[in-house]
Amino acid sequence: MAEKEQAAPTGRIVAYIKEQREVTIPALQRRFSADYFTVARLVRRLVDDGELKFAGGVTYTVTGAVQDGAVQDKAEEIARRRASLEERRQQLIARAMKTLRSEDGEDVSPAEEAEEHMTVRAEELVVGGDGRWEDGLLFAVGRGAGGELVYGDLSRLAHILIGGGAGMGKSSFLHTMIYSFLMHYTPDEVRLILCDPKRTEFTLYEDMPHLLTGEVLSEVEQAIPALRWAIVEMERRYGLFAEKTAAGEPVRDIAGYNAVCAEGERLPRIVIIVDEFADLILQAKRDIEDCIQRLAQKSRAAGIHLVLATFMTSVTVMTGAVKCNFPTRVAFRVYEELQSRVILDERGAEKLPVRGDMLMKGTADLQGRRIRAAYTSREELAMAVSAAKTNYPRKFHKQAQTFIARTGQELIGERRGGPMYPEDESCIKALKVVIEAGEASICLVQRRCGVGYNHAAKIIEWMEDMGYVSRFDETMRTRAVLITKEKFEKLYGPLG
């Protein structure tokens, strides 16, 4: 019996759906032990055919199963009015509670304010779409101010720069983008390079078939080689385009190349997503900036796209050289007008009322739009990743894996080689001192290491060049220590 349920045909699922008033994708998957992608595609087809309708949350209503004609229309109208009244009731309660707490002098957190707004489920956008997913590289964005569904096409947006305060929705935006790719594109169509310096956001995607190398990158010694490999791949692709053009088949971009190639020769689009790229900038500013600028300037036509997110909305991270190559920018709620201007070159993000609201600046249809970002739950992400691992073989890019590993080892070797000063031992000793002290300054090195002022200044300069301490800030008396104890021991041996 279990085996029959496991192999439940699509017809049985459709028959079951039509007998119900409401259904959800997870419930259908559990009942029939069916594949998540199979159920989602089936629900998407029924939505496009008008047999199912999104009812909010994760629920779909069956439009023709129980009532029909005028009775159906009346029932839908009653349901809409009830939902609207309930939503309004909850908003009034939340607003009244917030007013009372504000009068009592209590702070109202963004999380409490967010209760006034309905969550936009990514599933509503991803399951629908009426054929629009066939062209370009689409992903779900959210709902506009008028309630319309908003999608982004990365093939048109080119590259995306995302900024906003901590906990305001940046990582959720990235998860929804990845979820969209998993649900609609195979690993032969889209490959991902994910970089997660925090080691917390992208762990779910480890060993996923859509990953280019099979792992989520977390160290700057992995991120720099990955970006350099992307530059090499970009140049290789332009060489292939030139060969096709010379052979009498003019090719200008990846879409044109794939149109004239056989199925096995087509190139996948590559999306590089970095969740907190400020950490990479602080550790290796010159290397990271050079790679980002090179890719952002000419990789779009080659089918390589950058998506960078950070909460550190300052000009030291979002420099003019970086921003000028990112035509599309997304700003979630920030705390000051200056931060909004850093991200968008205009004010507005500081006035967004709650987390999840964002301003998007890009192509004409998205220019200056306020959007409620779509949200994807961990359960939905886990099911999509599990289905991808079940449906697609893991064919990781061996050459990219080798290039990243070899170049990463070379970078580590360069750093192990120490500074370009003759006093290597004193520099390593000073580095131990600042790690133990938790801060760095010329006076601290001079006092604790017994060296002169000029010598201590050179050591601090070396630490800054290596990315071990932050840059000098006139508002701070000391510099922040960026290197961890684990990383020190990995490069230079025991700390004690």
CA distance 491 to 381: 36
- Of the residues 80, 108, 136, which one is the last residue of a structural domain? 108
Within-domain flag for 115 = no
Q: Which domain holds residue 459?
A: 417-492
Q: Is residue 83 pLDDT above 80, yes or no?
A: no
Q: How confident is the model at residue 50 (pLDDT cuts 50, 70, 90)?
A: confident
Q: How confident is the model at residue 268 (pLDDT cuts 50, 70, 90)?
A: very high
Q: Examine the domain organization and report whether 93 and 169 are in the same domain.
A: no
Q: Examine the domain organization and report whether 47 and 137 are in the same domain.
A: no
Backbone angles phi, psi at 211, to 5 degrees: -70, 140
Average pLDDT, the chain: 81
pTM recorded for the entire structure = 0.71
The three-state DSSP-derived secondary structure of the chain is: CHHHHHCCCHHHHHHHHHCCCEEEHHHHHHHHCCCHHHHHHHHHHHHHCCCEEECCCCEEEECCCCCCHHHHHHHHHHHHHHHHHHHHHHHHHHHHHHHHHHHCCCCCCHHHHHHHCCCEEHHHHHHCCCCHHHCCCEEEEEEECCCCEEEEEHHHHCCEEEECCCCCCHHHHHHHHHHHHHHHCCCCCEEEEEECCCCCCCHHHCCCCCECCCCCECCHHHHHHHHHHHHHHHHHHHHHHHHHHHCCCCCCCHHHHHHHCCHHHCCCEEEEEECCHHHHHHHCHHHHHHHHHHHHHHCCCCCEEEEEEECCCCCCCCCHHHHCCCCEEEEECCCCHHHHHHHHCCCCHHHCCCCCEEEEECCHHHCCEEEEEEECCHHHHHHHHHHHHHHCCCCCCHHHHHHHHHHHHHHHHHHHCCCCCCCHHHHHHHHHHHHHHCCECHHHHHHHHCCCHHHHHHHHHHHHHCCCECCCCCCCCCECECCCHHHHHHHHCCCC
Within-domain flag for 335 = yes
pLDDT of 43 reads 83
Per-residue model confidence as pLDDT tens digits over 332-374: 999 888 889 989 888 888 888 878 889 988 766 566 678 889 9
pLDDT of 110 reads 46
Within-domain flag for 114 = no
| For range 215-219, the mean pLDDT | 92
Q: Encoding tokens for residue 107?
A: 């702070």
Per-residue model confidence as pLDDT tens digits over 222-245: 999 999 999 999 999 999 999 999
Q: How confident is the model at residue 291 (pLDDT cuts 50, 70, 90)?
A: very high
Q: Examine the domain organization and report whether 197 and 217 are in the same domain.
A: yes
pLDDT of 94 reads 57
Q: Examine the domain organization and report whether 139 and 13 are in the same domain.
A: no
Indicate which CATH number applies to the domain containing 362. Answer: 3.40.50.300
Q: Is residue 422 pLDDT above 50, yes or no?
A: no
For the chain, the C-alpha Rg in angstroms (whole number) is 26
Q: Is residue 57 pLDDT above 90, yes or no?
A: no
Q: Encoding tokens for residue 428?
A: 């390593």
Q: Examine the domain organization and report whether 375 and 240 are in the same domain.
A: yes
Within-domain flag for 46 = yes
Q: Encoding tokens for residue 184?
A: 């609609």
Q: Examine the domain organization and report whether 280 and 208 are in the same domain.
A: yes
Within-domain flag for 444 = yes
Q: How confident is the model at residue 298 (pLDDT cuts 50, 70, 90)?
A: very high
Q: Examine the domain organization and report whether 102 and 162 are in the same domain.
A: no
Q: Are strands 328-332 and 357-361 parallel, antiparallel or unpaired?
A: antiparallel
Long-range contacts: 433-439, Cβ < 8 Å, 24+?
434/463, 434/468, 434/469, 434/481, 435/481, 435/483, 435/485, 435/488, 435/495, 436/495, 437/481, 438/481, 439/478, 439/479, 439/480, 439/481
Q: Examine the domain organization and report whether 95 and 150 are in the same domain.
A: no
Q: How confident is the model at residue 299 (pLDDT cuts 50, 70, 90)?
A: very high
Per-residue model confidence as pLDDT tens digits over 17-32: 877 778 888 888 888 8
Indicate which CATH number applies to the domain containing 8. Answer: 1.10.10.10
Q: Examine the domain organization and report whether 79 and 8 are in the same domain.
A: no
Q: Is residue 115 pLDDT above 90, yes or no?
A: no
- Cβ–Cβ < 8 Å for 373, 173: yes
Q: Examine the domain organization and report whether 269 and 208 are in the same domain.
A: yes
Q: Is residue 79 pLDDT above 80, yes or no?
A: no
pLDDT of 4 reads 42
Percent of the chain past pLDDT 70, that is, above it, reads 80
Q: Total domain count for the chain?
A: 4
Q: Is residue 180 pLDDT above 70, yes or no?
A: yes
Instruction: Tell me how far CA of residue 111 lies from CA of 141, 169, 372, in angstroms.
Output: 20, 11, 15
Task: Of 217, 172, 228, 227, give the one whose Cα is nearest residue 195.
Answer: 217
CA distance 341 to 355: 18
Nearest-10 Cα torsion for 358, 362, 366, 369: 40
Within-domain flag for 207 = yes
Q: Examine the domain organization and report whether 423 and 407 are in the same domain.
A: no
Within-domain flag for 31 = yes
Q: How confident is the model at residue 46 (pLDDT cuts 50, 70, 90)?
A: confident
Q: Examine the domain organization and report whether 406 and 305 are in the same domain.
A: yes
What pairs with residue 150 in β-bridges? 142
The contacts of residue 360 (CB under 8 Å, 6+ apart) are 141, 152, 328, 329, 330, 331, 366, 368, 369, 371
